[in-house]
Amino acid sequence: MEIHKDTVFLVIDVQNDFCPGGALAVPGGDQVIEPINKLLPRFPATVYTQDWHPGVHTSFASNHKGKSVYDLIPLSYGEQVLWPDHCVQGTKGAEFHKDLQTDHADLIIRKGFRKEIDSYSAFFENDRKTTTGLDGYLKNRNMEKVVCAGLATDFCVYYSAIDAMKLGYQVTVLMDASRAIDLEGSLDNALNDMRSNGIVLSTIAELLS
């Protein structure tokens, strides 16, 4: 089946630090690469996102004395999970996985480069106000549907899908081309919220049927 010309494929954070051996490895993270690569030629538009943190980022536990990874701290925009240092600008960990085909990228959105704000979504930073510019780009290209895949299902994929829906797009998340961290029930919470907001949780076979 041909995918309609108003559909963008949003490939989220398939970077070394989120794959096995990385600083914030998602279990099975590298398993999304083959299905994503096979899908890329089918889409009329593709956008990749890339975490791109300065080393002094406020979301890194190492930058908070006495705090540990996965602790929560209050910030101006709400509670923030503290992460291990990951996807630091210019490092190997921040690079896309070597097996991911990147020649298909029409646009690469780098997010999380503001040291005081973390960024999960492809559309907004975590203050929910600072935009990445992606919405304007997609609207200029007359895109109406967003298909999401990548890492991690319960964080950056989830937040991107929810924001896309709120911005008026029809949204599908490909479960067999995404993998989750599942931090204290975060996967079930994300899946339930996506379903309740009308986001389609699908498979590649269902998308192409």
Please give the positions annotated as active site.
13, 111, 156
What are residue 123's phi and psi, to 5 degrees? -110, -35
Peptide bond into 161 cis (omega under 30): no
Measuring CA to CA, how many Å separate 192 from each of 56, 153, 186, 187, 205? Answer: 34, 12, 10, 9, 22
Task: Determine which helix (DSSP H) or strand (DSSP E) holds 192, and give its type and residue range.
Answer: helix 186-196
- Per DSSP, 122 falls in state S
Vertex 83: Cα angle to 82 and 89 (nearest 5): 125
Amino acid at 38: K
Amino acid at 199: I
What are residue 60's phi and psi, to 5 degrees? -90, 125
State the Cα–Cα distance between residues 53 and 115, nearest whole angstrom: 7
State the Cα–Cα distance between residues 124 and 119, nearest whole angstrom: 7
